[in-house]
Protein backbone atom coordinates (compact mmCIF):
# COMPACT_ATOMS: atom_id res chain seq x y z
CA UNK A 1 0.00 0.00 0.00
CA UNK A 2 3.00 2.26 0.55
CA UNK A 3 3.95 1.58 -3.06
CA UNK A 4 0.57 3.01 -4.11
CA UNK A 5 1.24 6.14 -2.06
CA UNK A 6 -1.20 5.37 0.74
CA UNK A 7 -0.40 6.78 4.17
CA UNK A 8 -0.90 4.01 6.71
CA UNK A 9 -1.12 3.49 10.45
CA UNK A 10 -0.35 0.10 11.96
CA UNK A 11 -2.15 -1.93 14.61
CA UNK A 12 -0.59 -4.71 16.67
CA UNK A 13 -2.36 -7.06 19.07
CA UNK A 14 -0.14 -7.82 22.05
CA UNK A 15 -0.86 -10.63 24.52
CA UNK A 16 1.29 -9.88 27.54
CA UNK A 17 2.23 -11.90 29.60
CA UNK A 18 1.82 -14.73 27.06
CA UNK A 19 3.94 -12.73 24.63
CA UNK A 20 6.88 -10.73 25.89
CA UNK A 21 8.40 -7.33 25.37
CA UNK A 22 10.79 -8.77 22.77
CA UNK A 23 7.80 -9.69 20.60
CA UNK A 24 6.46 -6.15 20.94
CA UNK A 25 9.89 -4.70 20.14
CA UNK A 26 10.06 -6.85 17.00
CA UNK A 27 6.83 -5.25 15.78
CA UNK A 28 8.14 -1.79 16.65
CA UNK A 29 11.33 -2.47 14.69
CA UNK A 30 9.32 -3.68 11.68
CA UNK A 31 7.07 -0.65 11.87
CA UNK A 32 10.08 1.67 11.93
CA UNK A 33 11.42 -0.03 8.77
CA UNK A 34 8.07 0.34 7.00
CA UNK A 35 7.92 3.94 8.17
CA UNK A 36 10.99 4.66 6.06
CA UNK A 37 8.79 4.07 2.99
CA UNK A 38 5.83 5.96 4.41
CA UNK A 39 7.26 9.30 5.49
CA UNK A 40 6.77 8.34 9.13
CA UNK A 41 4.26 5.98 10.66
CA UNK A 42 2.21 5.40 13.79
CA UNK A 43 1.90 2.05 15.54
CA UNK A 44 -1.05 1.38 17.82
CA UNK A 45 -0.60 -1.52 20.26
CA UNK A 46 -3.71 -3.01 21.84
CA UNK A 47 -3.77 -5.43 24.75
CA UNK A 48 -5.50 -8.55 23.44
CA UNK A 49 -5.00 -10.83 26.44
CA UNK A 50 -8.43 -10.49 28.08
CA UNK A 51 -10.16 -11.18 24.78
CA UNK A 52 -8.11 -14.31 24.20
CA UNK A 53 -8.71 -15.54 27.73
CA UNK A 54 -12.47 -14.96 27.38
CA UNK A 55 -12.55 -16.87 24.09
CA UNK A 56 -10.46 -19.68 25.57
CA UNK A 57 -12.77 -19.97 28.59
CA UNK A 58 -16.10 -19.72 26.75
CA UNK A 59 -15.73 -21.13 23.25
CA UNK A 60 -14.74 -24.49 21.79
CA UNK A 61 -11.01 -24.66 21.08
CA UNK A 62 -11.42 -24.93 17.30
CA UNK A 63 -13.15 -21.51 17.25
CA UNK A 64 -10.22 -19.67 18.87
CA UNK A 65 -8.64 -18.25 15.71
CA UNK A 66 -11.98 -17.44 14.08
CA UNK A 67 -13.14 -15.52 17.17
CA UNK A 68 -9.81 -13.71 17.50
CA UNK A 69 -9.93 -12.55 13.88
CA UNK A 70 -13.46 -11.20 14.32
CA UNK A 71 -12.40 -9.21 17.40
CA UNK A 72 -9.31 -7.93 15.58
CA UNK A 73 -11.40 -6.66 12.70
CA UNK A 74 -13.87 -4.91 15.00
CA UNK A 75 -11.06 -3.22 16.93
CA UNK A 76 -9.28 -2.27 13.70
CA UNK A 77 -12.46 -0.69 12.35
CA UNK A 78 -13.13 1.27 15.54
CA UNK A 79 -9.59 2.58 15.64
CA UNK A 80 -9.65 3.36 11.90
CA UNK A 81 -12.85 5.36 12.25
CA UNK A 82 -11.45 7.21 15.27
CA UNK A 83 -8.34 8.13 13.24
CA UNK A 84 -10.29 9.09 10.12
CA UNK A 85 -8.94 6.19 8.06
CA UNK A 86 -10.90 4.99 5.04
CA UNK A 87 -10.02 1.28 4.96
CA UNK A 88 -8.54 -1.62 6.89
CA UNK A 89 -5.49 -3.26 5.34
CA UNK A 90 -4.43 -6.80 6.26
CA UNK A 91 -1.53 -9.01 5.24
CA UNK A 92 -3.61 -12.10 4.51
CA UNK A 93 -2.54 -14.48 1.77
CA UNK A 94 -5.34 -16.79 0.62
CA UNK A 95 -4.87 -20.32 1.90
CA UNK A 96 -1.58 -19.58 3.67
CA UNK A 97 -2.95 -20.64 7.09
CA UNK A 98 -6.30 -21.82 8.49
CA UNK A 99 -7.54 -18.28 9.20
CA UNK A 100 -6.92 -17.29 5.59
CA UNK A 101 -9.44 -19.48 3.82
CA UNK A 102 -12.27 -17.78 1.96
CA UNK A 103 -14.72 -18.96 4.64
CA UNK A 104 -12.55 -17.53 7.42
CA UNK A 105 -12.11 -14.25 5.57
CA UNK A 106 -15.87 -14.08 5.05
CA UNK A 107 -16.38 -14.62 8.79
CA UNK A 108 -14.00 -11.83 9.78
CA UNK A 109 -15.33 -9.46 7.09
CA UNK A 110 -18.90 -9.91 8.32
CA UNK A 111 -18.27 -7.85 11.48
CA UNK A 112 -17.07 -4.68 9.72
CA UNK A 113 -18.59 -2.28 7.21
CA UNK A 114 -15.35 -0.54 6.21
CA UNK A 115 -13.53 -1.73 3.06
CA UNK A 116 -10.85 -4.34 3.78
CA UNK A 117 -7.86 -4.22 1.42
CA UNK A 118 -5.63 -7.30 1.13
CA UNK A 119 -2.67 -6.46 -1.10
CA UNK A 120 -0.98 -9.84 -0.52
CA UNK A 121 -4.07 -12.01 -1.05
CA UNK A 122 -2.76 -13.80 -4.17
CA UNK A 123 0.91 -13.87 -3.18
CA UNK A 124 2.50 -17.08 -1.98
CA UNK A 125 5.01 -17.33 0.85
CA UNK A 126 8.01 -17.07 -1.47
CA UNK A 127 6.65 -13.89 -3.09
CA UNK A 128 6.17 -12.33 0.34
CA UNK A 129 9.65 -13.36 1.50
CA UNK A 130 11.16 -11.80 -1.63
CA UNK A 131 9.41 -8.50 -0.96
CA UNK A 132 10.46 -8.56 2.70
CA UNK A 133 14.08 -9.06 1.67
CA UNK A 134 13.87 -6.10 -0.74
CA UNK A 135 12.53 -3.76 1.95
CA UNK A 136 14.92 -5.13 4.60
CA UNK A 137 12.29 -6.54 6.97
CA UNK A 138 12.92 -10.25 6.46
CA UNK A 139 15.61 -10.82 9.11
CA UNK A 140 13.55 -9.02 11.74
CA UNK A 141 10.34 -10.78 10.71
CA UNK A 142 11.78 -14.25 11.32
CA UNK A 143 12.96 -13.55 14.87
CA UNK A 144 11.47 -16.37 16.96
CA UNK A 145 9.13 -14.42 19.24
CA UNK A 146 5.57 -15.52 19.89
CA UNK A 147 2.68 -13.41 18.64
CA UNK A 148 -0.91 -13.31 19.81
CA UNK A 149 -1.98 -15.81 17.14
CA UNK A 150 0.20 -18.51 18.71
CA UNK A 151 -1.34 -18.08 22.17
CA UNK A 152 -3.94 -20.77 22.95
CA UNK A 153 -3.41 -22.13 19.44
CA UNK A 154 -5.91 -24.93 18.79
CA UNK A 155 -4.70 -28.31 17.55
CA UNK A 156 -7.35 -28.28 14.84
CA UNK A 157 -8.59 -24.76 14.01
CA UNK A 158 -11.70 -24.34 11.90
CA UNK A 159 -10.71 -24.10 8.27
CA UNK A 160 -14.19 -23.52 6.85
CA UNK A 161 -16.20 -21.88 9.62
CA UNK A 162 -19.96 -21.80 9.16
CA UNK A 163 -21.00 -18.19 9.81
CA UNK A 164 -24.24 -19.06 11.63
CA UNK A 165 -22.34 -21.36 14.03
CA UNK A 166 -19.66 -18.70 14.52
CA UNK A 167 -22.27 -16.10 15.47
CA UNK A 168 -23.96 -18.54 17.86
CA UNK A 169 -20.62 -19.41 19.50
CA UNK A 170 -19.66 -15.75 19.75
CA UNK A 171 -22.89 -15.04 21.65
CA UNK A 172 -21.23 -16.67 24.67
CA UNK A 173 -18.99 -13.60 24.94
CA UNK A 174 -19.63 -10.04 26.04
CA UNK A 175 -18.25 -8.71 22.76
CA UNK A 176 -18.92 -5.01 23.41
CA UNK A 177 -17.37 -4.99 26.87
CA UNK A 178 -14.26 -6.84 25.68
CA UNK A 179 -13.79 -4.46 22.75
CA UNK A 180 -14.26 -1.37 24.91
CA UNK A 181 -11.71 -2.67 27.41
CA UNK A 182 -9.22 -3.36 24.61
CA UNK A 183 -9.79 0.10 23.09
CA UNK A 184 -8.90 1.66 26.43
CA UNK A 185 -5.56 -0.17 26.46
CA UNK A 186 -4.23 1.20 23.16
CA UNK A 187 -0.73 2.68 23.20
CA UNK A 188 0.56 4.85 20.36
CA UNK A 189 4.15 4.89 19.06
CA UNK A 190 5.41 7.12 16.26
CA UNK A 191 8.34 6.39 13.97
Residue 49 lies in a domain: yes
Question: Which domain range does residue 63 map to?
Answer: 9-190
pTM, 2 dp: 0.93
Beta 9-14 vs 187-190: how paired, if at all?
A: unpaired
Question: Does residue 64 contact residue 172 with C-beta atoms inside 8 Å?
Answer: no
Residue 2 lies in a domain: no
Q: Tell me the CATH number at 178.
A: 3.40.50.620
Which of left, alpha, beta for 41 (phi over 0: left; psi -120 to 50: alpha)?
Answer: beta
Comparing 36 with 185, the larger pLDDT belongs to 185
Residue 144 lies in a domain: yes
3-state helix, strand, coil in the chain (%, to 5): 50, 10, 40
Residue 102 lies in a domain: yes
How many Cα atoms are found within 13 Å in the side-chain-facing hemisphere of 7?
A: 9
pLDDT in tens, 59-115: 999 999 999 999 999 999 999 999 999 999 999 999 877 778 999 999 999 999 999
Residue 3 lies in a domain: no
Residue 4 lies in a domain: no
pLDDT in tens, 118-159: 999 999 999 999 999 999 999 999 998 877 777 788 888 899
Q: Does the CA dihedral 182-36-133-28 come out positive or negative?
A: negative
Per the structure, the count of domains in the chain is 1
Residue 178 lies in a domain: yes
Name every residue whose Cβ is closer than 8 Å to that of residue 174 and which is 6 or more positions away in sequence: 54
Amino acid sequence: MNKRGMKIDCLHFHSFPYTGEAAKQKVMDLTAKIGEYNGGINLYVVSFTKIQEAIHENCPEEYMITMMRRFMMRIAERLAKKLGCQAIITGESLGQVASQTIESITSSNSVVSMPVLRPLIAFDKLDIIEISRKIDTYETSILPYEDCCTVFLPKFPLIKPDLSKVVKTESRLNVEELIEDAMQSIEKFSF
